């Protein structure tokens, strides 16, 4: 098991990609700290699934965008002897909004949840002295332009840039930092929410399909494992090849 005897904190683990990453890491032998903001029930459900499969999980509820709660959470990890050796910065927010309709609070929310939280959790993880791997969930939007996604694209571009800079700064201390940038990822409501877009994506992507959440999770698992011991500062794209043919 790739992550046996290791502890991993996954932020935004109460649902979506974060929940799948948590399940994947638990299957690989890690003790998983399920970071969540408001969706405690979702985190409880993920914990139950992990334990039903014989894995280990603990709830870790705190606001990743607020400095004091982040510091308190890592202090609590230390007192409980479960400071994470692996940090997956997955918590984020996605919204579609024209720039001219956007208020400052909308911009700030995108920056807080997608970028500020990554900074705060990474800082505290490295300060703990036990973290050796950070994986940041970015997006192919970081390197592309998308209609009505100005705030999201800017925030995810910041995540990619932060990843490279942290890799340089923390490398001498033995900490590896990488990013994973998914394209369109499947979810149960996707076909109903964006049928024309999904059809166009499937007809354009070289692999002819969208990305599955477990494929993102497995990429994170690889980067967190010793198999990637010489890899730091990269942005790993997982998009069924759509980036090579965009714009579509």
Catalytic residues: 152
Integer Cα distance of 113 and 65 in angstroms: 6
Strand, helix or coil for residue 4: coil
Integer Cα distance of 76 and 84 in angstroms: 11
Burial status of residue 79 (CB atoms within 10 A of its CB: 0-12, 13-18, 19 or more): exposed
DSSP per-residue string spanning 70-82? HHHHHHHHHHTT-
Note whether 156 and 114 are within 8 A (CB).
yes
Using alpha carbons, list the distances in angstroms from residue 120 to 59, 69, 124: 19, 10, 6
């Amino acid at each position: 098991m790739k992550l046996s005897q290791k502890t991993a904190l996954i932020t935004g683990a109460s649902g979506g990609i974060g929940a799948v990453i948590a399940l994947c890491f638990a299957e690989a032998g890690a003790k998983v700290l399920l970071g969540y903001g408001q969706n405690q029930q979702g985190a409880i459900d993920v914990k139950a699934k992990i334990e039903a499969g014989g894995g280990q999980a603990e709830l870790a509820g705190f606001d990743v965008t607020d400095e004091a709660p982040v510091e308190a959470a890592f202090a609590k990890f230390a007192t409980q002897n479960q400071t994470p050796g692996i940090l997956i910065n997955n918590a984020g927010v996605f919204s579609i909004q024209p720039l001219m309709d956007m208020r400052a609070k909308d911009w700030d929310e995108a920056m807080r949840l997608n970028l500020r939280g990554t900074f705060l959790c990474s800082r505290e993880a490295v300060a703990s002295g036990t973290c050796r791997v950070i994986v940041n969930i970015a997006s192919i939007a970081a390197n592309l332009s998308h209609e009505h996604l100005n705030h999201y694209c800017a925030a995810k571009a910041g995540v990619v840039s932060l990843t490279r800079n942290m890799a340089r700064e923390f490398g001498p201390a033995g900490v590896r930092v990488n990013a994973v940038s998914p394209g369109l990822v499947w979810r149960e409501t996707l076909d109903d929410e964006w049928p024309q877009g999904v059809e166009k994506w499937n007809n354009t992507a070289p692999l002819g399909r969208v990305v599955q959440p477990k494929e993102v999770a497995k990429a994170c698992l690889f980067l967190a494992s010793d198999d990637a011991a010489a890899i730091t500062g990269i942005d790993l794209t997982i998009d069924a090849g759509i980036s090579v043919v965009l714009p579509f």
